[in-house]
């Protein structure tokens, strides 16, 4: 099963970083190129424990839906979202936050498994892992930008 780990250093309070990472509205901003829309469940604001969101997006020219639920939540240090319905065989995304002086170390651990056996594993190795890593890095840069400036005030929560 592929695993992506990304660490991002942010000069902002831990509570702000945590809330930006669970903001439906900020996720929409960071995923503009895939036209992501929250179409069911929690569709705006801050998602919390046992809440779910269904995203509709276009990846690789294919419109898809993915529903994920927050299954673990320890504000402001840790939360997990996992796929409950969608194209992946499994998807489990850990969000870890640690305050170190004036910085927050935000760590993503993204475990996923594609369907289709050997074909899915080959697609992971040669295409999907790098694609998802770039997607997560873009998302984290957006979180960092909003946290380190006053842009977070643009969000309605």
In-domain check, residue 36 = yes
Q: Indicate whether 72 pLDDT > 80.
A: yes
Backbone angles phi, psi at 54, to 5 degrees: -105, 120
In-domain check, residue 115 = yes
In-domain check, residue 134 = yes
The structural domain count of the chain equals 1
The residue-averaged pLDDT of 90-114 equals 96
Q: What is the CATH number of the domain that holds 75?
A: 3.30.530.20
> What whole-number percentage of the chain has pLDDT above 70?
100
In-domain check, residue 157 = no
β-partners of residue 95 are 79, 108
In-domain check, residue 59 = yes
Q: What is the pLDDT of residues 11-39, one digit of tens each?
A: 999 999 999 999 999 999 999 988 999 99
Considering Cα of 21, then 38, then 25, then 52, what sign does the dihedral take? Answer: negative
Domain span at 43? 3-152
Q: Indicate whether 120 pLDDT > 80.
A: no
pTM above 0.75, yes or no: yes
Q: How far is CA 10 from CA 6, 24, 26, in A?
A: 13, 19, 16
Q: What is the mean pLDDT of the chain?
A: 95
């Amino acid at each position: 099963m592929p695993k992506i780990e990304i660490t991002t250093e942010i000069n902002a309070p831990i509570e702000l970083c945590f809330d930006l990472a669970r903001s439906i509205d900020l996720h929409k901003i960071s995923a503009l190129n895939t036209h992501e829309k929250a179409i069911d469940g929690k569709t705006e604001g801050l998602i919390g424990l046992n809440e779910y969101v269904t995203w509709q997006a276009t990846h690789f020219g294919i419109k898809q839906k993915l529903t994920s639920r927050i299954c673990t939540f320890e504000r402001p240090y840790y939360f997990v979202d996992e796929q409950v319905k969608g194209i992946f065989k499994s998807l489990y995304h850990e969000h870890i936050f640690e305050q170190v002086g004036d910085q927050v170390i935000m760590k993503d651990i993204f475990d996923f498994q594609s369907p289709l056996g050997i074909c899915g594993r080959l697609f992971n190795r040669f295409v999907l892992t790098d694609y998802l890593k770039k997607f997560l890095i873009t998302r984290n840069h957006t979180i960092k930008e909003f946290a380190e400036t006053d842009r977070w005030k643009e969000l309605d929560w």
